[in-house]
A and B are shown apart, each in its own frame.
Chain A
Amino acid sequence: MITFDHLSKEYNGVYAVNDLSLEIPGGEIFGLLGPNGAGKSTTILMLTGLIEPTAGRCLIDGIEVAKKPIEVKHRIGYMPEDVGFYTNLSASENLDFFARLYGLDASARRSRIDELLSLVNLDGVEKLVGGYSKGMRQRLGIAKALLNDPAVIILDEPTANLDPQGVADYRRIIKQMAADGKTVLVSSHILSEVSMVCTSIGVLSQGKLVAEGTWKDLTRVLQGEQVTILVETRDSMPEFSHPDLITAEYSNEQHEAVITARSDIRDDIADTLRETDVMIRQLTLDRSTLEQAILSYYNTGDEQP
């Protein structure tokens, strides 16, 4: 579990993080959203003990980071945005060095390193890290973050340099970690990426937490109790009726529809289409309006509605 308790960080009179209070329970994948300079990285640096807060505190599983940094660092796995390794060492040598810092013995190091390199598809790559692409370094960064089997995983812009296969692998790994009861904190400015993996999000703007909640809650709040559903079918679709339906606009000879509703009624729409033997091509929640709503927070620093 991660706890931010009235956390603030000030640089030359300017607050990079301002009175942040938040609790992220175990087993959750939490997305920390915000534009560049919103305070995401500063928050993470305080959480990892790399910088000290001006006020407030961060706790990992109830242990205060500033007071017991070594104990906390044994419990976390961290991958920064600009992940850096020793370029004169191979991937396994890099991981071996970091594993020694965790006090793992030789056999535990060997088996853990082999397991993780295989997990991120870097097994068998013998060249020095100096010759790695950014994507390969990012994969190695994910492996390094998992080296000590941490209870809390902190990832700063984890998919920035990954190829599609890498992104798919990353999603799979992160979801598995959460399923194993680990807490995952993902910092990103890419809303679509966060929406794919995170169970809840917080929006930071100008150092303040301006919105926070589960993805479903936030969707409802930010879209004003409305969701937009995009439907595309191979055959002409029937007109829908549902107590929560507000509007439905059909186009392209009833092959496409944009539906606004008070709740996510995709399951009911799918049932209706199945009953009428209409083949579904697309049935998605339109996140563009949600993205616009979140973006509207980015430079305002307004409080949550």
Chain B
Amino acid sequence: MKSNGLPVIARKELRDHFRSRKFLLIFGIFLIITIIGMVSGAAQYNKDLQSYNDRQSVADDDEYSMGFGWGKPSIMSIYLGVSGLIVTLGAILGIAMGFDLISKEKETKSLKILLSHPVYRDEVINGKALGGLMALAIALGITFIVTFAILLISGIVPEGDELSKILVYGGAAFLMILSYFALSLFMSTVANDSGKALVYTLVIFVALMSMPMLLNGPVMNMIIGEPPEYPEEAICSNTGYSSMKVEYSVSSGDGVFEEPKPDPVWEEYQKRSDEYWNKRQSVSDFITLISPTMNLQTISYKLLIPDYSRMMSMAFSSAEHDGSEMPETDVFADIFKNIIALFAFPALFLGLAYVRFMRMDIR
């Protein structure tokens, strides 16, 4: 005999979310602040565009092409203004949607009643997850439609490349919020009551938010050691970004200077320094992958302000560059691992919630 529990439960959950004052309040704040951010961002964009056009009329564009902030303003910068809000309020929305989904059913004893009906146990947890996922998708869909409308009303029409970046950013934001929804749903299956589920989720949320910052300081030094010491015996130095290059030249007897040769001490230092900072960057990148919020921030920087992102990554590298042009990289390839991590996080916690719920003692 077949059961139709999954669609019935998912539909009820979806309706419950949109009837929940908690959900509507947070989503309302989320939407209003996004609208305000987009409106002011669009106004700023138009102002920057006007300023850019004015500069174009008096100077050659090449003169201003170097560095961050001097090129033609990007539509993506409008979204950057609301990305911080999406990270914080989005995570709160995800947590608020999931933390009491199972624990409240245990508290009100409705879970026992529900499971005495012709439904399989996995349909209950899957239905709840699906209902939440649909509610999130609808909420974010509405938000992005509104942001597009604001762009169009402001006379800003994204091009194909910008549109695809906006869509990828929207998808990443959805996965980030889904990650916290999955985490709180899992905690809801673990905790005895909703209060504890919320506390557990918030503790992990704060830990995931602050862990990368904590680990980039002294904790990182404890993990991978101190950076190599600066060689005092190096002859001279010149600087560019964060890299440093030391060379020396030798005067021969006939008064002709030989080609400058690299100082071996400095070369050794540079090699060890590169290795150290690469290792540190790898650990930092890995830690970022664990945190959905940090992942979304990384994605938003790389998608929304790729010049700045490239400039920051070059600052950690001693690779030479002439300063006139930053290398173009494939943004989507660059954020691929972050996207995968954003898929993995909710998948992991939805899986854990499923296993925990299936083994739960219903008494």
- A residues near B (Cβ < 8 Å) are 41-42, 45, 48-51, 68-71, 73-74, 76, 78, 80, 82-88, 97-98, 100-103, 144
CA distance A103 to B362 in the complex (A): 24
State whether B3 touches A86 (Cβ < 8 A): no
Q: Within the assembled complex, what's the spacing in Å between the Cα atoms of A50 and B2?
A: 18
B109 and A82 contact, CB distance less than 8 A? yes
**Set of chain B residues within 8 Å of A100, measured between Cβ atoms:** 4, 8
Q: Is the CB of B112 within 8 A of A84?
A: yes
Question: Once the chains are docked, how many angstroms separate the CA of A271 from the CA of B154?
Answer: 98
Interchain nearest-CB distance for B342 vs A (Å): 31
- Are B363 and A45 in contact, CB atoms less than 8 angstroms apart? yes
Give CA–CA (A76, B3) in the complex, Å.
Answer: 15
Q: Give Cα distance in the complex from A33 to B297, angstroms.
A: 62
The reply to whether A70 and B1 form a contact with Cβ atoms under 8 Å apart is yes
Q: List 8 A-B contacts (CB under 8 A).
A: A78-B116, A84-B112, A85-B113, A100-B8, A101-B117, A101-B119, A103-B118, A144-B113
Chain B residues positioned under 8 Å from A69 (CB to CB): 118, 120
- Decide: A70 and B3 in contact? CB cutoff 8 A: yes
Are B112's CB and A80's CB within 8 A?
Answer: yes
> Interface residue tally of chain B, by bracket?
20 to 34
Q: A50-B362, A68-B1, A88-B16 are in contact. Are A101 and B8 (CB under 8 A)?
A: yes
Chain B residues numbered 80-113 whose CB sits less than 8 Å from any CB in chain A: 105, 108-113
Residues of A within 8 A of B110 (CB): 84-86
> Whole-angstrom distance from the CB of A224 to the nearest CB of chain B?
38
A49 touches B1 (CB 8 A): no
Residues of A within 8 A of B19 (CB): 88
Q: Are B116 and A97 in contact (CB under 8 A)?
A: no
**How long is the Cα–Cα vector from A42 to B19 in the complex, in angstroms?**
36
Neighbouring B residues of A51 by C-beta, 8 Å: 361-363
Which residues of B line the A interface, CB within 8 A? 1-5, 8, 12, 16, 19-20, 105, 108-113, 115-120, 361-363
How far is B110's CA from A254's CA once the two chains are assembled, in angstroms? Answer: 57
**Contacting residue for B116 out of A41, A49, A85, A103, CB 8 A:** A49
Q: Is the CB of B113 within 8 A of A102?
A: no
Complex-state Cα separation, A83 to B105, whole angstroms:
12
What residues on A are CB-neighbors of B16 within 8 Å?
Answer: 86, 88
Cβ B8 vs Cβ A85 within 8 A: no
Inter-chain contacts of A50 with B (CB < 8 A) = 112, 115-116, 362-363
Identify the closest chain A residue to B3 (Cβ). A70
B117's partner among A73, A82, A84, A86 (CB-CB below 8 A) is: A73
B128 CB to nearest chain A CB (Å) = 13
Give the one of B20, B105, B108, B361 with max A CB within 10 A. Answer: B108
| Residues from chain A with Cβ under 8 Å of B8 in the complex | 97, 100-101
* CB-based contact B118/A73 at 8 Å: yes
The 7 A-B pairs at the shortest CB distance, nearest first, are namely A84-B109, A84-B110, A73-B118, A101-B117, A78-B116, A100-B8, A84-B108
CA distance A73 to B5 in the complex (A): 12
A101 to B4 alpha-carbon distance, docked (Å):
6
- Is the CB–CB distance between A97 and B12 below 8 Å? yes
Q: Contact: B113 with A101, CB < 8 Å?
A: no
Q: Which residue of A lies closest to B120 (CB)?
A: A70
The distance from the CB of A199 to the nearest CB of chain B, in whole angstroms, is 24
Given contacts A48-B116, A51-B363, A73-B118, contact A103 B109 (CB under 8 A): no
Q: Are B113 and A83 in contact (CB under 8 A)?
A: yes
Tell whether, in the assembled complex, residue B108 and residue A45 are in contact, meaning their CB atoms are under 8 Å apart. Answer: no
Docked CA distance A97–B112 (Å): 15
Report whether A101 and B118 are in contact in the complex, using a CB–CB cutoff of 8 Å: yes
